[in-house]
């Protein structure tokens, strides 16, 4: 549960353009091409936004994940 809360907080911290690609890719399970079509941007833009969004999410979740592991 702690990890899920950390991810949700991390998502809240993302820029709207980055948040939407993460949600469409991992929650809606859409392929990159469908996301690009839905957003009206090139596939390369979707890839770039997803890359930077995941980088930022990892950074936001990493401190809490390491604390959670240490507690076990």
CATH label of the domain that carries residue 62: 1.10.10.10
Which tens digits make up the pLDDT trace of 17-70?
Answer: 999 999 999 999 999 999 999 999 999 999 999 999 999 999 988 875 555 555
72 within some domain: no
17 within some domain: yes
Count: domains in the chain: 1
33 within some domain: yes
- Cβ distance 12 to 57 under 8 Å? no
User: What's the pTM?
Assistant: 0.79
Structural domain span for residue 42: 2-67
Spell out the alpha helix ranges (H) of 13-42.
16-22, 32-39
18 within some domain: yes
46 within some domain: yes
> Which H or E element spans position 59?
helix 43-71
pLDDT at 61: 87
């Amino acid at each position: 549960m702690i990890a899920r809360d950390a991810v949700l907080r991390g998502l809240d911290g993302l820029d709207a353009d980055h948040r939407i690609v993460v949600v469409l890719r991992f929650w809606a399970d859409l392929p990159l091409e469908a996301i690009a079509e839905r957003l009206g941007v090139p596939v390369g833009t979707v890839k770039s936004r997803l890359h930077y969004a995941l980088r930022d999410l990892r950074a936001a979740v990493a401190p809490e994940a390491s604390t959670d592991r240490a507690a076990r």
